[in-house]
Structure 1
């Protein structure tokens, strides 16, 4: 017990020392190297990073006496600060492991390097993935959140020419308080939710209808019809969207046909309400084949005795569809249906490729009639360089969609019954 305490107290000061004294040389040397690298290289880097994220720089862009540009880049300093905090947390975790491991008794049985690798294979395998998760996913998320609390925007707060400053909740107050921002946010948000619901529901039920038709007993050469219906899904989506934009354009074949039969050309992509209808129609054409292919296999797995029993009870075709087919299909596809809603909520590609967010809405700030929240963010960042407001909207998307998806998924019957298994 005294040896264990001695090892443990020594590990508080010198990482890896207890492990080396116990004969666990590889582990001890690794922990010792972590401490050495932290002291030699880490502390100066962390000090500068924490200073940078706190101040976002103090030196404005200017030329020194030698004619060299001198400045603090606020965004780079913020990134260095975030990386510093993440690395500090990782090092703290390693330090805690070092101390806790020091309390463990020395292994009496001599083990080879191969045995140690086999025993810790799960940690060796998962560590690269965890590090990638931290620096490729968590880092951008934290960076986006922090940008929302700064004034990072054109034309007066873009580094390196200008410094960026922390502004607290000012951006949130403006997007909800200023009329031009508030009207744009409410209008785009309502259309985004409407679009996500209609795009998901129409694709789902049209796909179900196609699957029911193809799988009905009266239809011959089923493979041919399945192939025809799946063609839109097989063609690259972007190509299909660009073709649809040409088809529905003012001089496109649909308007040519309408004019040929004596009617007036329609502004499929230039009239606000008609443009929204066109987008839903195109999305239905692109998305329904996916659900048709998915539900074709589900329909074939529904027990036939359910339908036979319902026939004996005198059920109509509609009653069988309502009480047997749709519940069984929803049970299997609900998680995918929820995922489809989340995807359509952020379906940037279709909006960008077909309408570009247009037609123009003069009452909106940096947004058009068909812009979703995600395409509005794109315009604010790439076109207008309003990074602070774009980050605010990004946070709002996450706060809206994450609880909806999590609640809907956990409340689905398939999830609850799987949890009981």
Structure 2
């Protein structure tokens, strides 16, 4: 028993434990104990400055984050929510410095136990330059990224769990945390449920059909132009890429005029010859057909240019070997061309699907997601992102818009991650 107590006492009195304990109690004391006086004083000053300058802000911020205010008209829930999120970010940086202080003190104490001499100031500066200087230089960019990207994302995530809508908005009313009630309403309340599933299914159809058509068309045209029997390849490629050169919003507005059922050239000059008049903008089905057609036109030039470059890199001896073995055109396309093209372009093609899933421009510029549908608070051609826009800027249903945005983000991230994991390019990325 006496030996155990002696060993325990000896263990507690080891420099590494003393330095760790001192750093836990007061940042910088562990470094001073290890005779790293300059570093210890700097860490101590940083800790004192952090507490003095941020204590009141953090105190109000954390309180506001949990309560969202207690006095209507005086407390603004949105301001308190933002201050609370900023407080969490600032607190995270403070905790990171605090943990660094503890680990650094323990590391220096271990070196002291092993008899290693503390580096001089010059040696410490050189070590910092060689090992930590790159990290030090990216800190400003990291801080900017946190406040420009991470903070808005956290704010959006937070709104999805509040009751912030047009009938309950600060400072007239205080917000409350409602948990997952918004997601439950989205799946159970009739008007939200019907609209959500209608818009969600159309978003999936839009993404799959429009993107697949532009990929198939781009691949088909690239195969034709890459054929040895085709002449004037440069001219043909230039003409086929022209739709890509015109700004997309200009093309969409032009198509919106062309598809206009009253004065549009498609009905008036083309279909009228066959005594056909299609309600492109007033009928949801035909509006969706028009949107898919326009997106195919806008998207195929990029895919065409992408596939054209990849096809030129396929080794000719592979086709020659297939000819010797008696391979048909279909077999060469299936076993040589297609695998080679998909291997090189799969990540970019996946991004085409993800991009069209959130393709707000074409939906809004063509007909603003219309026509209206009875019993729904979204238009007949609205996809999730355009519906979120309307909920945010037209009906002020911020909580439901945030909830839908979270669902969209999960879908896109899950789909992209799953597809990337299945591509050979992703699997071999870490091998080199």
Q: Same fold (TM over 0.5)?
A: yes
- Distance verdict in 2 for CA 1:235–1:259, change over 3 Å: closer
2:234 corresponding residue in structure 1: 223
1:144 corresponding residue in structure 2: 156
Query: What displacement does 1:5 show?
Result: 4.8
2:103 corresponding residue in structure 1: 100
Q: Distance in 1 between matches of 2:45 and 2:210?
A: 55
Q: Distance in 1 between matches of 2:264 and 2:217?
A: 26
Kindly indicate whether residue 372 of structure 2 is the aligned counterpart of residue 360 of structure 1.
yes
Conservation of the 8 A alpha-carbon contact between 1:338 and 1:405: yes
Question: Structure 2: which 5+ runs fail to align?
Answer: 1-12, 109-116
Q: Distance in 2 between matches of 1:2 and 1:54?
A: 42
Superposed CA RMSD: 2.0
Conservation of the 8 A alpha-carbon contact between 1:357 and 1:375: yes
Q: Distance in 2 between matches of 1:116 and 1:262?
A: 78
Q: Distance in 1 between matches of 2:35 and 2:257?
A: 73
Q: Deviations over 1:183-216 (max 9, x none)?
A: 1111100010111111221111111111111111
Query: What displacement does 1:414 show?
Result: 2.1
1:184 corresponds, among 161, 185, 195, to: 195
> SS of 2:80's equivalent?
helix
2:418 corresponding residue in structure 1: 407
Please give the residue correspondences for 1:329-408 in structure 2 after superposition, counting only pairs within 5 Å.
329-365=341-377, 367-408=378-419
Please give the residue correspondences for 1:20-419 in structure 2 after superposition, counting only pairs within 5 Å.
27-61=39-73, 71-105=74-108, 107-109=118-120, 110-111=122-123, 113=125, 116-155=128-167, 157-250=168-261, 251-258=263-270, 260-365=272-377, 367-419=378-430
Query: What displacement does 1:83 show?
Result: 1.3
* Aligned pairs, number: 410
Q: Which deviates the most, 330-339 or 7-16?
A: 7-16
Q: Deviations over 1:315-370 (max 9, x none)?
A: 222222222211111111111111111111111111011121011111212x1111
- Distance verdict in 2 for CA 1:282–1:415, change over 3 Å: same
Q: Distance in 1 between matches of 2:147 and 2:41?
A: 25
Q: Deviations over 1:355-395 (max 9, x none)?
A: 21011111212x11110011100000000000011111111
Q: Distance in 2 between matches of 1:93 and 1:163?
A: 33
Q: What TM-score comes out, normalization by structure 2 length?
A: 0.89
Query: What displacement does 1:306 show?
Result: 1.4
Query: What displacement does 1:260 show?
Result: 5.0
Conservation of the 8 A alpha-carbon contact between 1:258 and 1:265: no
Q: Which deviates the most, 377-386 or 394-403?
A: 394-403
Question: Structure 1: which 5+ runs fail to align?
Answer: 62-70
Q: Distance in 2 between matches of 1:252 and 1:46?
A: 60
